[in-house]
A and B are shown apart, each in its own frame.
Chain A
Amino acid sequence: MRWLGALLLLALPVGGPAQTVTIGSKNFTENVILGELLRQLLVDAGMEARHQAALGGTRLVFNALAAGEIDAYVEYSGTLAREIFAAEAPASDTALSELLAARGIVLAGPLGFENNYALGMREPRAAELDIRKISDLRRHPDLVFRFGNEFMERADGWPGLRAAYGLPQTDVQGIDHDLAYRALAAGDADLTDLYTTDAEIEYYGLRSLVDDRQYFPRYAAVLLYRRDLAARQPAAVTALQSILGRLDETTVRRMNAAVKIAGRSEAEVAADFLHGPGRTGLAVPGLWQRVAQRSAEHLLLVAVSLTAAVLIALPLGIVAARRPRLGQFVLGLTGIAQTVPALALLVVMVPLFGIGAGPALVALFLYALLPIVRNTHAGLSGIDPAVRESALALGLPDAYRLRRIELPLALPTILAGIKTAAVINVGGATLGALVGAGGYGQPILAGIRLDDTGLILEGALPAAGLALAVQWAFDAAERRCLPPGLRRRSGARSPGRGTS
Chain B
Amino acid sequence: MIRIDGVSKCYGDTVALDGLSLDIDAGGTTVLIGPSGCGKSTLLRCLLGLVQAERGEICFGGRRLQDHDLLTLRRRIGYVVQQGGLFPHLDARSNVTLVAAWLGWSSERIAARLDELLALTRLPAAAMVRFPAELSGGQQQRVSLMRALMLDPDYLLLDEPLGALDPMIRHDLQIELRDIFGRLGKTVVLVTHDLHEAAWLADRIVLMRAGRVVQQGRLDELIRAPAEPFVEAFIRAQRSPLDSLAEPH
In the complex with contacts A393-B77, A397-B71, A499-B136, A386-B131 CB distance below 8 A: no
Interface stretch, picked from A199-207, A342-350, A354-362, A480-488, is A480-488
Instruction: Evaluate contact between A495 and B172: CB separation under 8 angstroms.
Output: no
Q: Which residue of B lies closest to A498 (CB)?
A: B136
| A-side interface mostly | helix
For the side of the interface on A, what is the size category?
Answer: 20 to 34
Cα distance, A405 to B132, chains bound together (Å): 14
Mask, B163-186, CB within 8 Å of A = 1, is: 011100100110000000000000
Q: Which of B54-91 contact A (CB under 8 A)?
A: 70-75, 77, 79, 81-91
Give the residue among A387, A408, A483 with the most B Cβ atoms within 10 A: A387
Report whether B165 and A496 are in contact in the complex, using a CB–CB cutoff of 8 Å.
Answer: yes
**A500 beta carbon closer than 8 Å to chain B:** yes
Q: Is A396's CB under 8 angstroms from B99's CB? A: yes
Q: Find residues 383-428 in chain A having any chain B CB closer than 8 Å to their own CB.
A: 384, 386-387, 389-397, 400, 404-405, 408-409
Q: Is the CB of A497 within 8 A of B137?
A: yes
A486 to B134: give the CA distance in the assembly, Å: 10
Does the CB pair A500–B138 fall under 8 Å? yes
For the complex formed, measure the closest distance between the CB of B101 and the CB atoms of chain A, giving whole angstroms: 10
A496 touches B137 (CB 8 A): yes
Contact of B87 among A387, A393, A395, A496 (CB under 8 A): A387
In the bound assembly, the distance between CA atoms of A394 and B86 in angstroms comes to 11
How many residues of B sit at the interface, in one of the four size bands?
35 or more
- Write out the residue numbers on chain B whose beta carbons fall within 8 Å of the beta carbon of A486: 88-89
Judge whether B166 and A496 touch: CB under 8 Å: yes
Residue of A nearest to B83 (CB): A386
B142 within 8 A of A: yes
Q: Which residues of A contact B85 (CB under 8 A)?
A: 384, 386-387, 389-390
Residues of B close to A386: CB separation below 8 A: 81-85
Which label, helix, strand, loop or mixed, suits the secondary structure of the B interface?
A: helix
Q: Enumerate chain B residues within 8 angstroms of A496, measured Cβ to Cβ.
A: 137, 164-166
Contact A500 B86 (CB under 8 A): no
B29, CB-defined interface residue at 8 Å: no
A residues in contact with B102, CB < 8 Å = 396, 400
Q: Does B227 reach chain A (CB closer than 8 Å)?
A: no
Residue of B nearest to A496 (CB): B137
Residues of A within 8 A of B84 (CB): 386, 495
Q: Contact string, B90-108, partner A, CB cutoff 8 A, digits 1/0?
A: 1100000011001000000
Q: Which residues of B contact A393 (CB under 8 A)?
A: 48, 50, 74, 77, 79
Q: Which of B119-163 contact A (CB under 8 A)?
A: 131-140, 142, 144, 147
- Least Cβ distance of A384 to chain B in Å? 8
A163 within 8 A of B: no
In the complex the two chains form, is A391's CB within 8 Å of B87's CB? yes
Closest to A398 in B: B71
The A447-490 residues at the B interface (CB cut-off 8 A) are 483-486, 488-489
Partner of A394, one of B99, B135, B139, B164: B99
Give the most central of B48, B87, B98, B144: most A CB within 10 Å.
B87
Report how far A384 CA is from B84 CA in the complex, Å. Answer: 11
With a cutoff of 8 Å between Cβ atoms, the chain B residues found around residue A391 in the complex are 87
A246 in the interface, Cβ–Cβ < 8 Å?
no
* Smallest CB separation, B21 vs chain A (Å): 24
Q: Bound complex: CA of A390 vs CA of B44, how far in Å? A: 13
Q: Tell me, yes or no, whether A91 is within 8 Å of chain B by CB.
A: no
The interface residues of chain A lying within 8 Å CB-to-CB of B73 are 395
Q: Does residue A287 face the partner (Cβ distance < 8 Å to B)?
A: no
Q: Are A405 and B87 in contact (CB under 8 A)?
A: yes
Distance between Cα atoms of A500 and B175 in the complex (Å): 13
Chain B, Cβ-Cβ closest to A406:
B87
A323 at interface, CB cutoff 8 A: no
Q: Is A283 an interface residue (CB 8 A)?
A: no
Least CB distance, A380 to chain B, in whole angstroms: 14
CB neighbours of A499 from chain B (8 A): 136, 138, 169
A-B contact pairs, 30 of them (CB 8 A): A386-B83, A386-B85, A389-B45, A389-B50, A390-B81, A390-B86, A392-B50, A393-B48, A394-B98, A394-B147, A395-B73, A396-B71, A396-B99, A400-B102, A408-B89, A409-B89, A485-B88, A485-B89, A485-B91, A485-B132, A485-B133, A488-B131, A489-B133, A492-B134, A496-B164, A496-B166, A497-B166, A498-B137, A499-B136, A500-B139
Q: Which A residues fall within an 8 A CB radius of B?
A: 384, 386-387, 389-397, 400, 404-405, 408-409, 483-486, 488-489, 492-493, 495-500
- Residue positions of B touching A, CB distance < 8 A: 45, 48, 50, 70-75, 77, 79, 81-91, 98-99, 102, 131-140, 142, 144, 147, 164-166, 169, 172-173
